[in-house]
Amino acid sequence: MATAARAPSSPPPRSTRGALGWLRANLFGDLKSTILTVLALALIVTALPPLVRWAITDAVWGAVGPDVCRKADGACWAFIHEKYRLILFGRFPYDEQWRPLVGMIVLIGVLAVSCDRRFWRPWLGAVWIAGFAVFFGLLWGGFLGMSFVETRLWGGLTLTLILSFVGIGVSFPVSIVLALGRRSHMPVVRALSVVYIELIRGVPLVSLLFMASFMLPLFFPVGVNVNALLRAQIAIILFTSAYLAEIVRGGLQAIPRGQYEAAEALGLGYWLRMRKIILPQAIRTVIPPIVNSFISLFKDTSLVAIVSLTDLMLATRQAIADPNWRAYFIEGYIFIALIYFAFCFFMSKYSQYLERQGRTGHLRARDMA
Amino acid sequence: MSGASHDRPADRQGEAPIIELIDVDKWYGPFQVLRGINLAVGRGQRFVICGPSGSGKSTLIRCINRLEEHQRGRIVVDGVELTSDLKQIEHVRREVGMVFQHFNLFPHLTVLENCTLAPIWVRKMAKAEAEKLAMQYLERVRIPEQAGKYPGQLSGGQQQRVAIARALCMNPKIMLFDEPTSALDPEMIKEVLDVMVELAESGMTMLVVTHEMGFARTVADQILFMDQGEIVEQSDAETFFTHPRSERTKAFLSQILHN
């Protein structure tokens, strides 16, 4: 082979290799970073042991009353043990709480399957629809011997997942339509998209939630009563899709003119050009800001508390309101912070994974379309 | 090499031209890029269009598949007049292949998918059939072994040959080339021109905007020289190079052949 004739390359200098090399390069490179490293170490050494003592060794675990916690120095995880069902399921009838539990497991299961690109086929859409059908079927009940449960009793993590999953699932396609509309050659379509996007972006989500809850019903015909959950969901979708639309538009603008022209020259019509050529590339370039928006949406669902929907946040506040456990709000907030973090961190990591796939050029167009 | 230029099926009398431009004018804002263009290309003819940059030659061929819109005059391609009617435009585009200066391959699709996309979605061909057809054309441009790769993994010359194969997969009646070798490194120009010469020999109707005068001499039935939006001169290759009529053509030729 031709490569065999090449002169052997010499190894890099010793000092840049191995663990010692890494330490020198990253932690003790010069005086300034040495000082910072020592300071950081000191901070960890002083802060970590008390934290471990509070959170683990001195903490109170298991099914015990608040009186035990009062005598202990550490965290009162017994509070979580006592209240986790309220936090996860809200005021859903206690004996029926297996239903939202199974529902959430189904939804998260479908999400897990969707993460594998091998399954990005048209049938995955059907799987999602089936997943949502099972989920909402379980929650509503009213068949197969399951009692009917009104949406105002839905709550906790269940409600947060509904608002965010449906919010993401609906606002993303809507945002694509809006972004395409804003770049349309048809003046009316373009004007409608611009007005929509600018109006919604100019208003805080809180006021949208208020308007959806209290003003929207005024416009409905007498007797038509759209439930509170759906109204809040609509507000979240309206809000998120306006933001996403601008992100998608940014992606569309990043696609060189030549791509449009090549697709046109092959005789592809507008929708085919968008679906097969432009959108797959455009959306790939804006994966990081899109996921950023999804993460925002997930956390912003906690604002629905102001229209009296018991999401993860409000359910936790209700748990804390119990006079017996009032002292242990920190434990409560840490618990839901971990839940929020788990979902957001997953989204962030998955977005990085998708980006890496895109860079190596193996993310396929039909996967995105 | 010169064998190709003797075979001119389009010289048959009485057959309507496959491309016809009548008094075509076009402006970019107040600036007129095309002035009174008249052109008739017969089935199987090879036209080479040359001229200084900004002379309107790219605009001219881009009007033929409506990537650019003309504002006055008529353009009739394969019996269909180009108006704002989308159906007619898409009909023409199906029959007219185009190769661009910067290849414009779809970077998110493999070479094979680049070639099969339009046959499958526009011609409604079965996937297996489209892939067979694509492999046939990839063999013809001599890169079947790259079918599974992405465009970014290929050299410029290879990409341009894929672009030619992609256009051919639609079985077009006409092929337009917009400076197909201008963005290529010198050592890759030949591999692309060889493919184009073979295509010309197969009887394809071709309009080629290029500065490759060797290619023009080999395959062109007619050479157009454009300057400032006008067709200054049109003649067969032999006459064009040996007895150019206008001074502008002579000046252009002396510059381009000198380099």
Q: What is the pLDDT of residues A10-45, one digit of tens each?
A: 777 766 677 778 888 888 878 888 899 899 999 999
Q: State pTM to two decimals.
A: 0.84
Give chain A positions within 8 Å (CB) of B124: none
Average pLDDT of B15-43?
93
pLDDT confidence bin for B72, thresholds 50/70/90: very high
A254/B contact by beta carbon, under 8 A: no
User: Least CB-CB distance to A267: which of B90, B105, B113?
Assistant: B90
Interchain proximity B100–A262, CB inside 8 Å: yes
Count Cα neighbours of B197 within 13 Å in the Cβ-side half-sphere.
Answer: 19
Q: Residue B8 pLDDT more than 50?
A: no
B239-244 contacts at long range (C-beta below 8 A, 24 or more positions apart): B240/B216, B241/B213, B241/B217
Q: What angle do CA A192, A198, A203 make, to 5 degrees?
A: 130
Q: Residue A355 pLDDT more than 80?
A: yes
Cα of A263 to nearest chain B Cα, Å:
8
Residue in B61, B99, B103, B100 with CA at minimum distance from that of residue B82: B61
Which is more confidently placed, B8 or A148?
Answer: A148
**Most confident range, picked from A88-97, A149-158, A254-263:** A254-263
User: Least CB-CB distance to A261: which of B86, B104, B150?
Assistant: B104
pLDDT confidence bin for A363, thresholds 50/70/90: very low
Average pLDDT of B161-165?
97
The confidence score (pLDDT) of residue B7 equals 45
Interatomic CA distance for residues A202 and A196, integer angstroms: 10
The confidence score (pLDDT) of residue A332 equals 92
Interchain proximity A266–B152, CB inside 8 Å: no
Cα of B77 to nearest chain A Cα, Å:
14
Q: Residue A323 pLDDT more than 60?
A: yes
Q: What is the mean pLDDT of chain A?
A: 88
Average pLDDT of A170-197?
95
Residues in chain A, how many? Answer: 369
User: Which amino acid is residue B59, in one-letter code?
Assistant: T
Within chain A, where are the H helices? 18-26, 31-52, 66-71, 78-89, 98-115, 122-140, 156-182, 187-201, 205-210, 216-219, 228-253, 257-265, 270-272, 279-285, 287-300, 312-320, 329-359, 365-368
The confidence score (pLDDT) of residue A25 equals 80
User: Least CB-CB distance to B104: which of A258, A269, A276?
Assistant: A258
Residues 335-364 of A with CB under 8 A from B: 361-364
